[in-house]
A and B are shown apart, each in its own frame.
Chain A
């Protein structure tokens, strides 16, 4: 990378926390008021835990793309499975600017991945348990898949080793960050079960609306510059994209989010008579997620189409998961991050400009790895963790509200406390 590129990447890196802050606001706003302080504190805690555990525990597994790793040879092809770095994230010094930038971006990325499952466990996931799950995500799950994609691992090498396009491509974390986080969110909902009184005995779902949609929508707005920066930084750091591509990346990110939002808005207006603000917010975030796969390599029209499809997918999967499969996901994290992330990865294969033969198949292999390896591993790891430290708060705590139960104080002490509006009659 040139000196100018490094300087630009540094500036972009400083903007990435805006995306993290926006996601925290969305998570807090989509939950209930008696869990909002816990939601925001959990966000700060998991970001801290993720950074520390990645630094000390995960960075060795991630490795760097131009450094050797642990692998084996199968059918005369090399398969690089694990990174082989030292335990501490070295190269964080002035002499290794590019490696330092890579390490720093990966730190922010793991912090974002750790935030995603928090919203799925809103109102019932204990703070300590979320920190434990984050530690495992940051030290094992994220760096394992991250090495395969960004650290010179077998997924990235499929182009060279097996003639499959340019190998699996994931520009700034649609799979490595978003889908991994979304998969973790799904596992968390399975392990925790639904919120109290979410599902009636008849099987109908109670609507538990967001307590502050203004915070949610503000978070969405805040995410846009952060996500543009994340996408641009990822393209430059992991794939050596030239600076001239930055405007294209920014435009594609915005178009993808816009397309997804408008699709969600139109669809909810058509189906329910009025647009649903929280589903529209989900659509916006889902569009940003989908753009993370290939904003640098697709045309603006393809970006818009990717966003439109993402918006439709999100609206329908939120409904299916909640109503048909009893997955209680307060913020739609599974649909927004996992489903939209996987769609983004597939759309990269479909719409890539100057595509190479076999690229779509490489993307499918990556998606298959997320579903067939990362999901079962995430479930196993969290299932074992739950045996050691209980994940869910008790019934009394849930009735009282997790803010009061875990923190001893609510987020809005001057508000009038109402009775529980969701007791079935």
Chain B
């Protein structure tokens, strides 16, 4: 789950990079950057939830 979360975070960053590189309009660029950040947040939550599962297994 942690690896999936990390890959999701990389994907979110690539979305942000693509938005910066390819979108000239400030509004569209801003929207896509926020979408990329949202994907990163999902990935981070997945990574953090892995710790919950690990602790449950350890307990």
Contact = CB atoms under 8 A, between A and B. Distances in A.
B48 A325 contact: yes
A364 B6 CA distance: 19
Contacts of B22: 75
A404 interface: no
Contacts of A203: 55-56, 59
Interface residues of B, number: 33
Most A CB atoms within 10 A — which of B36, B37, B43, B55? B55
A201 interface: yes
B35 to A, nearest CB: 11
Contacts of A200: 59
Contacts of B9: 371-372, 375-376
Contacts of A77: 21
Nearest to B11: A372
Contact of A365 (B33, B44, B52): B33
A368 B37 contact: yes
A372 B10 contact: yes
By secondary structure, the B interface counts as helix
Interface string A349-392: 00000000110010011011101110110011000000000000
Interface string A184-208: 0000001001100001111100000
Contacts of A269: none
A364 B37 contact: yes
A305 to B, nearest CB: 23
A90 interface: no
Contacts of A228: none
Interface residues of A, number: 36
B26 to A, nearest CB: 7
Contacts of B49: 325
A325 B10 CA distance: 21
A321 B52 CA distance: 10
Contacts, number: 85
B2 A190 contact: yes
A158 B29 CA distance: 13
B26 A371 contact: no
A326 B52 contact: yes
B22 to A, nearest CB: 6
A158 B51 contact: no
A327 B37 contact: no
B34 A326 contact: no
Interface in B1-59: 2, 6-7, 9-14, 16, 20-22, 26, 29-30, 33-34, 36-37, 40, 43-44, 47-49, 51-52, 54-56, 58-59
A21 B57 CA distance: 39
A164 interface: yes
B33 A376 contact: no
A423 interface: no
A289 B2 CA distance: 28
Contacts of B48: 321, 325, 327
A321 B55 CA distance: 13
A324 B9 CA distance: 21
Most A CB atoms within 10 A — which of B10, B16, B54? B16
Nearest to A325: B48
Contacts of B44: 371, 375
A162 interface: yes
A74 interface: yes
B6 A375 contact: yes
Contacts of A202: 59
Contact of A364 (B2, B14, B34, B55): B34
A206 to B, nearest CB: 13
Given A190-B2, A364-B34, A376-B10, A326 B20 contact: no
Given A325-B51, A326-B54, A376-B6, A368 B21 contact: no
13 contacts: A164-B20, A203-B55, A321-B48, A364-B33, A365-B20, A365-B33, A367-B37, A368-B12, A368-B16, A372-B16, A372-B40, A375-B6, A375-B9
Interface of B: 2, 6-7, 9-14, 16, 20-22, 26, 29-30, 33-34, 36-37, 40, 43-44, 47-49, 51-52, 54-56, 58-59
Interface of A: 74-75, 77, 79, 158, 162-164, 190, 193-194, 199-203, 321, 324-327, 357-358, 361, 364-365, 367-369, 371-373, 375-376, 379-380
Given A368-B16, A371-B9, A376-B10, 4 more contacts: A327-B51, A367-B37, A372-B43, A375-B6
